[in-house]
Amino acid sequence: DTAVSQTPKYLVTQMGNDKSIKCEQNLGHDTMYWYKQDSKKFLKIMFSYNNKELIINETVPNRFSPKSPDKAHLNLHINSLELGDSAVYFCASSQGDRTFADTQYFGPGTRLTVL
């Protein structure tokens, strides 16, 4: 079974559209994350979320919003897509207990292309 899954794997869309990327984890973890990987492979945290706390990276535009229907899912909604949003988006999850044992497990990524 896939631990962290994302859909779709590829997403091609026009500027100005609104889109969502879904993420599901079956690890029983309490905390989930979204990362953006740009064309130079640089990975940057966008959000971390558990049922008590949402931490937003201050550089993330408010066009991006995480939505969690339950503990196993954290979807990423993007409004009014721009060319600069083209990237690979990774979902991850961890126990979130902030101890040394807390390890993040990553999904396979969603490659978003905005035309």
Partner 1 sequence: AQSVTQLGSHVSVSEGALVLLRCNYSSSVPPYLFWYVQYPNQGLQLLLKYTSAATLVKGINGFEAEFKKSETSFHLTKPSAHMSDAAEYFCAVRPRSGAGSYQLTFGKGTKLSVIP
Position 52 contacts partner 1 (CB under 8 A): no
Quote the CA–CA distance of 39 and 93 in Å, as a whole number. Answer: 23
Examine residue 8 and say whether the peptide bond preceding it is cis (omega within 30 degrees of 0). Answer: yes
CB of 80 to partner 1, least distance (A): 26
Position 27 contacts partner 1 (CB under 8 A): no
Could you say which DSSP state residue 104 is in?
-
Residue 85 φ then ψ, to 5°: -80, -10
Q: What residues contact 103, with CB distance under 8 A and at least 6 apart?
A: 94, 95
CB of 67 to partner 1, least distance (A): 19
Position 108 contacts partner 1 (CB under 8 A): yes
Residue from the set 8, 55, 63, 82 that interacts with partner 1 by CB under 8 A: 55
3-class secondary structure, 41: coil
Residue from the set 60, 71, 72, 109 that interacts with partner 1 by CB under 8 A: 109
Residues binding partner 1 (CB under 8 A): 4, 31, 33, 40-45, 48, 55, 90, 92, 94, 96, 98, 100-109
